[in-house]
Each structure stands twice: as structure tokens, then as C-alpha cells.
Copies of this chain bind each other. A is one copy, B any other.
Amino acid sequence: MSEMEQLYLDDLHVGQRFTSGSYVMEAARIKDFAAEFDPQPFHLDETAAKASVFRGLAASGWHTAAAAMRLLVTGGLPFASGIVGLGGEIAWPKPTRPGDTLHVESEIVEITPSRSKPHQGIVTVRGTMFNQNQEAVYVLTAKLLVPRRTTRK
């Protein structure tokens, strides 16, 4: 990311938007991730998944969330100090499927300078992950710690 613009609190404004690169959700990775972190039949096996509420193999929501983080960290949200989240809200309006090509569109919805720590602020970002059919599959509204630009080197 060294060639990219690196943004500080001073550079941000409400309504500012960012678009990430893309992530392809592979069937093998869906199953391996699930085996480690979310071993439920609908994330592990096509046949079991067909009979489930998902009606077909679906990635763990946490795999989807982790993929979204990868997209944000690798250029989707070019904050100078990285992406440090305090928490937020998440939703999975649709499952992600094998072969889906996913990207994240983010928008700054609130900026709150810190009273106690004048060198930083809390920035609320809403990121929506879309699949190749422009269906929203994941929405993350997160509070991020973002530093001010300093005059110190």
C-alpha cells in the first residue's frame, strides 16, 4: 500500500466513499475455514447444505466478515494507521456462495474527535459487501480509531 494515499483524521469527511478490490470465495476455502471455526453441515458439505436453511453450500458468516476485512486492509480503506476497530454492527442479508466475487463499498457516516485524546478520533464507517450480482451479502458498521496528522516526523 506504500504507493497509495494514506489518510488521517484530518483528511476525512462524512459522505466520503471508498471501493475495495475483489475477493473470490472458493469452495475449498469455505470448507476449510468452516472446519476450523464454524463446523456446521451447511458450511462443510454440499449435500447437507442443500437440505438446510441455506439450500446450498454457504460460507460461514465469519469467513465472509474476514474476507471483507482483507478487502478493507488491502486498499479498501486507506487509513494511515491501519484499521483498528472498537466494535460495531454486522448483518448478513444473504449468504456468500462458492465462486462469488465480492467487493466492499464503504462510506464514512460519522466523525467524532476524541475529547480526551486530541491526537485521534473515532470514525464510523459503513461497509457493504456485494456479490457479482450487486446483492448485498454483508454489512459492517464499525467504529474505527483514526489518528490526526501530526507535525512530528
List residues of A whose CB falls within 8 A of some B CB: 33, 36-42, 53, 60-63, 65-67, 69-70, 73-74, 81-92, 139, 145
Task: Give the shortest distance, in Å, between A84 (CB) and chain B (any CB).
Answer: 6
Q: Which residue of B lies closest to A62 (CB)?
A: B66
A88 touches B90 (CB 8 A): yes
- CB neighbours of A74 from chain B (8 A): 39
Which applies to chain A's interface (DSSP): helix, strand, loop or mixed?
A: mixed
B67 touches A37 (CB 8 A): yes
State the copy count for this chain: 2
A89 touches B92 (CB 8 A): no
Task: Give the shortest distance, in Å, between A128 (CB) and chain B (any CB).
Answer: 13
A73 touches B36 (CB 8 A): no
A92 touches B83 (CB 8 A): no
